[in-house]
Structure 1
Amino acid sequence: MPHTARQLTKIGVFYDGNYFAAVSRFYKYQHRQHAWISIRGLHEFIRCRVAKSERVDYHNCQIIDAHYFRGRFSAQQCVEKGEHVLFHERVLDDILMRANVTAHHLPMNAMGKEKGIDVWLALEAFELSTYKHFDVVVLVAGDSDYIPLARKLKTLGIRVMVLGWQISYDGPNGEPKGTTPSQMLLTEVSYPVLMSDLIDGAASAEGADELEAVRSLFQPREDQSESASTDGDPPLWKPGKIAAQKRGYGFVEPGNLFFFYGALVDADFEDLHEGMEVTFQEGLGRDSQPAAVKVRTEQIGQ
């Protein structure tokens, strides 16, 4: 059946977990963003970019499968390393679970290196692509080892998008560190996207929707999610209603305050509708402008 007749554009996302973790740590600790990359925000960006690249409607672009591959320390190794390693791994599991991302792990070797995880990613991506008939496969990766996978997927008529980052920073002892995506990999795929250029403004987003998705790639900073109140009291929940709903963001009355879908406390974004009664907390958004930093459909007193 032709793709246009199917209407739905099916997207499969595959994370090289070690690569993504290194990039996310960079934005948390070295970049001026000082925030983790939001997986939900990244998925929203992926849908926007695929819709533009495939020239299809955004609402018909759906991520139907997402998988995260990374090596993992054994329980005993975690105990020996200390520093709450087990706790942090559980936090990551919770994040992936909430974002509907399936985690795949292989044990670290004695030197603390992951071995075979990229091969497993490639095999799973190819098998799932043949079984679920993805239209677009998105690789959050930068290694040239994935070139054979990209070539194999193209023989199936599947377009491949790569999200890569070019980052550099100084290590603890002043040594240069960073990562650069394989240029051969970027050349091989249908849709190469250099995320670092988009985030830093060196490349332009493709349309207003994608621009907002780029701005929403990061988890809100704690100092920006507090209420504008300065008296130390917890932020108040105020009654309001949905004034407008766009692709992944909306506005709340009174005040016509912006909110991103990540601000929702007890509902999915698709469950909202204009005029719907909500309660919200007012604070400062990512541009230090007044915004609804938390929104819930549960009414005051319930």
Structure 2
Amino acid sequence: MAEQTRIAVMIDGSYFNRVSNYYKFEHSTGRRVSMTGLLELIRRATADMEDVPAVRARVVAAHYFRGRYTLRDLEDRARSPSFVEESLRNDRVFDQILAASNITSHYTRIDTIADPPKEQGIDVWLALEAFDLAVSDRCDVVALVAGDGDFVPLIKKINAIGKRALVVAWGMKSETGTEVRYSASLAGTAAYFLDMADLINNPRGDDQIDLVDQLFVDN
């Protein structure tokens, strides 16, 4: 029996949020991206790329990284009486989605002194966790849901220790000018690249059609 291919999925939360918002508000789909659907699609795509039966590919770890505003920051930025309550509720609902999908969440405080506000060190944290999983032989493939070229050194390190990096990314632009991009260097450095926009718009065969349908959720 073939060895299992162990997959670690690392999600850049800000990038994922832009993608999900794009499909909800800018795309004819009009739905958000499902976390469980995304993990299943990555698992099946990895099995194809690794040339192993789908049942032998397994997501052994999944991590989500994003900056968050503190309660005080939310209060300072409140645009309406209900803003803070709605923001906290949305955060709690999303945490429940991550937990139900067996995804470990990692948050850092957003730097509100910067103009515009920016995340503090979240990319470094993602890279450290990803490399730790690879170098300690807890996975065979690191699937990186991200588009930032700053992750190229991480991909090179993963390559250097004999593991495989899969970049899962979107490149698309709406009629209103909303754009989601990925670094060509990031895609070119990885062992595998999954062009999600092309897959979603042009699924090939019944299996891909089913996977794309499961990729979205009504909410």
When the two structures are superposed, what TM-score results if normalisation uses the length of structure 1?
0.66
Question: 3-state SS of the aligned residue for 1:108?
Answer: strand
Shift of residue 167, structure 1, vs aligned partner:
2.0
Gaps of 5+ in 2: none
Q: Which amino acid aligns with 1:125?
A: A
Moved more, 18-27 or 161-170: 161-170
Q: In 2, Cα distance between the equivalents of 1:151 and 1:178? A: 27
Residue of structure 2 equivalent to 1:91? 93
Q: Which amino acid aligns with 1:124?
A: E
Q: In 2, Cα distance between the equivalents of 1:92 and 1:138? A: 21
Q: How does 1:165-180 map to 2 (within 5 A)?
A: 165-169=170-174, 176-180=177-181
Residue of structure 2 equivalent to 1:217? 215
Gaps of 5+ in 1: 222-302
Shift of residue 119, structure 1, vs aligned partner:
1.0
Moved more, 107-116 or 188-197: 107-116
Question: 3-state SS of the aligned residue for 2:216?
Answer: coil
Larger of the two Rg values belongs to structure:
1
Does the CA contact (< 8 Å) of 2:22 and 2:178 recur in 1? Answer: no
Residue of structure 2 equivalent to 1:193? 194
Q: Which amino acid aligns with 1:68?
A: Y
Q: In 2, Cα distance between the equivalents of 1:170 and 1:76? A: 37
Q: How does 1:1-302 map to 2 (within 5 A)?
A: 7-82=3-78, 83=83, 84-110=86-112, 111=114, 112-169=117-174, 176-201=177-202, 204-205=203-204, 208-220=206-218
Does the CA contact (< 8 Å) of 2:26 and 2:178 recur in 1? Answer: no
Question: 3-state SS of the aligned residue for 1:100?
Answer: coil
Question: 3-state SS of the aligned residue for 2:52?
Answer: coil
Question: Could you say which structure has the higher helix fraction?
Answer: 2
1:204-260 C-alpha deviation (Å, 9 max, x unpaired): 44x533331122110046xxxxxxxxxxxxxxxxxxxxxxxxxxxxxxxxxxxxxxx
Q: In 2, Cα distance between the equivalents of 1:91 and 1:80? A: 22
Q: Which amino acid aligns with 1:74?
A: T
Q: In 2, Cα distance between the equivalents of 1:49 and 1:128? A: 20
Shift of residue 132, structure 1, vs aligned partner:
4.0
1:173-211 C-alpha deviation (Å, 9 max, x unpaired): xxx33121101111111111110111111xx44x53333
Q: Which amino acid aligns with 1:150?
A: I
1:128-171 C-alpha deviation (Å, 9 max, x unpaired): 22224311110000010010000000111111111111122366
Shift of residue 52, structure 1, vs aligned partner:
0.6
Q: In 2, Cα distance between the equivalents of 1:156 and 1:57? A: 24
When the two structures are superposed, what TM-score results if normalisation uses the length of structure 2?
0.90
Question: 3-state SS of the aligned residue for 1:213?
Answer: helix
Structure number with the bigger relative contact order (C-alpha 8 A, sep ≥ 6) is: 2
1:30-80 C-alpha deviation (Å, 9 max, x unpaired): 111111100100111111101111110111111010000000100111233
